[in-house]
């Protein structure tokens, strides 16, 4: 009789998931401002995709195109999401559902990971170790290295955790794929919208007499209407006019420099 572990890893082995966790250490490979972590994210998954899709080049192509879309999340926790989505790819869950869950989960994982690692663990450990090191105690760098190494090695159990979670949830996901896909897409769009409102700022320094065009007029009518309108304008150029994101980045940089030089913004 076949064991549960053999049933669980039908195409992707435990060793493959371990390698997936290790490859995630290069997750930020190819980081850029158009797709953020997407190149490294895609590269990390290629070996497991080859095991899952085999000679199905069309399925492989679809997976690569889908995963080259924008993603920005926490590197220490990304193996959880990688493992989860690998289990879904293995069961050939609907592509929209996989994409929707990815878009819905990467931002919350980023918030959790940043809060745990970069705002809590590393500052505390860094402060303690710096105190040791300032007194000439070699335990300072040793402890810091061991903690960082521990964070690195946690990628392996995290990848297995994500894969196991996905395997157990596959039946529920498949039965409710339409609802989950729609809900995940809504959540993902909500998160992206929140990120836009946090990162996009735009204000005018122009005055008409003693009246500030920004503070005394535009903000009274609709607060933050400029960054909102500018974001939708860029989206229109990107989606409807199919302008390259690289071109838009160059144009935005040029406009910002020019407007700043002339005192417009």
Residues 43-89: tens digit of each pLDDT: 999 999 999 988 888 889 999 999 998 888 888 889 999 999 999 88
Split at pLDDT 50, 70, 90, the class of 7 is very low
Secondary structure (3-state) at 208: strand
Split at pLDDT 50, 70, 90, the class of 1 is very low
Q: Is 9 left (phi over 0), alpha (psi -120 to 50) or beta?
A: beta
Secondary structure (3-state) at 241: coil
pLDDT computed for residue 10 by the predictor: 53
9 pLDDT higher than 60: no
- Residues 6 or more apart whose CB falls under 8 angstroms from that of 193 comprise none
214 pLDDT higher than 90: no
- Residues 6 or more apart whose CB falls under 8 angstroms from that of 114 comprise 74
Average pLDDT over residues 224-246: 86
Q: In terms of C-beta density within 10 A (0-12 exposed, 13-18 middle, 19 or more buried), how is residue 264 classed?
A: exposed
6 pLDDT higher than 60: no
Average pLDDT, whole number, for the chain? 82
CA distance 190 to 98: 17
From 29-33, 46-50, 171-175, the region with the lowest mean pLDDT: 171-175
pTM for the model stands at 0.63
pLDDT computed for residue 101 by the predictor: 82
Closest CA to 74 of 122, 24, 35, 16: 24
pLDDT computed for residue 4 by the predictor: 40
**Alpha-carbon distances of 258 from 1, 214, 215, 237, 263, rounded to whole Å:** 72, 18, 22, 21, 9
Most confident of the ranges 57-66, 98-107, 118-127: 57-66
């Amino acid at each position: 009789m076949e064991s549960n572990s053999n049933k669980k890893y039908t195409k992707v082995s435990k060793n493959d998931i371990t390698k997936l966790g290790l490859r995630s250490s290069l997750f930020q490979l190819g980081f850029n401002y158009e797709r953020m972590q997407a190149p490294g994210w895609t590269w990390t998954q290629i070996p497991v995709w080859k095991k899952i899709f085999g000679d199905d080049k069309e399925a492989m192509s679809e997976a690569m195109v889908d995963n080259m879309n924008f993603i920005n999340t926490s590197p220490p926790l990304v193996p959880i999401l990688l493992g989860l989505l690998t289990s879904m790819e293995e069961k050939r869950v609907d592509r929209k559902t996989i994409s929707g869950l990815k878009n819905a989960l990467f931002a919350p994982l980023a918030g959790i990971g940043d809060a745990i690692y970069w705002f809590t663990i590393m500052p505390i450990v860094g402060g303690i170790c710096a105190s040791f090191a300032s007194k000439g105690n070699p335990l300072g760098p040793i402890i810091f290295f061991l903690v960082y190494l521990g964070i690195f090695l946690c990628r392996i159990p995290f990848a297995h955790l994500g894969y196991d979670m996905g395997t157990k949830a596959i039946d529920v996901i498949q039965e409710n794929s339409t609802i989950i896909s729609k809900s995940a897409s809504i959540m993902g769009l909500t998160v992206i919208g929140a990120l836009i409102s946090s990162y996009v700022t735009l204000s005018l320094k122009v005055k008409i007499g003693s009246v500030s065009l920004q503070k005394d007029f535009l903000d009274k009518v609709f607060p933050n209407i400029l960054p909102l309108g500018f974001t939708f304008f860029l989206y229109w150029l990107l989606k409807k006019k199919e302008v390259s994101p690289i071109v838009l980045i160059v144009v935005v940089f040029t406009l910002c420099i020019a407007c700043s030089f002339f005192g417009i913004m």
